[in-house]
Amino acid sequence: MTKIIDYVFSIGSPWSYIGLAPFLDLLEKTGAEIRPYLTVVLEENGGIFSRNRPEARRQYWLRDLKRWAGLRGKTLLLENRPPLADPAPAAFMVIAAYLDGKPWLELTKILQEAFWGRAEDIGNPEVRRAIANAAGFDGDVLSKREGDADVQGKWAADREFALKNGVFGFPSFLYDGELYWGQDNLHFLESHLNGVKP
């Protein structure tokens, strides 16, 4: 029987960016498949935007991100970033790709790398369209799909799913009734997929 993981993430989450590659490695090892759910910080469940954290916690968050980025071999540009638009609308493009049967994980990866690795303004529709085109996607088609009813419907439903299932941070993985929060919990998810529930 195919093992299905509900994968809840945010395009604008650096932890989702850092954790994507090891998550894909885990899928390859275990043969599991994923159902994607895209949303933004869930304050209703206790999620906190980084800008709203106390300074001591924010400074630790920055240091921890750098440590994990180094461990995962990811470029993470956190300081001296130019003013950037909200990256959340980039999720609409990813949802459109998913609904249209396109390689949405690859699109997710290139958008996150652009935003976190190079500080490109993926919140700007022209910028993300160009990024998609350069990667071999039809950025014009995907961009036009962003406001369509099925795309916006999934965006709303994904948030409701996350709220209902107790998600508050990203990435989160739901498998067999268990919630695993954070890319640092992938080893527990792997154990569960292999039949040993932590």
The domains of the chain, with CATH numbers, are: 4-194 (3.40.30.10)
* C-alpha to C-alpha distances, 27 to 22, 48, 100, 193, 194, nearest whole angstrom: 9, 29, 22, 10, 12
Residue 13 clears pLDDT 90, i.e. is over it: yes
In this predicted model, which residue has the larger pLDDT, 94 or 81? Answer: 94
Neighbours of 40 (CB within 10 A): 19
- pLDDT reading at 47 higher than 90: no
What is the tens place of the pLDDT at every residue in 122-172? 999 999 999 999 999 999 999 999 999 999 999 999 999 999 999 999 999
Q: What is the mean pLDDT of residues 73-93?
A: 93
Contact of 113 with 17, CB cutoff 8 Å: yes
Give me the percent of the chain exceeding a pLDDT of 90: 87
- The token duo for 54 is 């106390």
3-class DSSP state for residue 114?
Answer: helix
Strand partners, 84: none
Return the pLDDT at 24. Answer: 97
The pLDDT value recorded for residue 80 is 87
Distance of CA 4 to the CA centre of its chain: 17
pTM: 0.94
- Considering the chain, what percentage of its residues have pLDDT values greater than 70? 100
∠ Cα 183 184 187 (to 5°) = 100
Q: Which residues are catalytic?
A: 13
User: What was the pLDDT predicted at 198?
Assistant: 84
Mean pLDDT value of segment 33-56 = 90
3-state helix, strand, coil in the chain (%, to 5): 55, 10, 35
Report d(CA 134, CA 106) in Å as an integer: 12
Residue 133 CA to residue 141 CA, distance in Å, equals 10
pLDDT tier, 48 (very low <50, low <70, confident <90, very high otherwise): confident
Q: Please give the backbone phi and psi of residue 11, each rounded to the nearest 5 degrees, phi first.
A: -60, -35
pLDDT at 75: 94
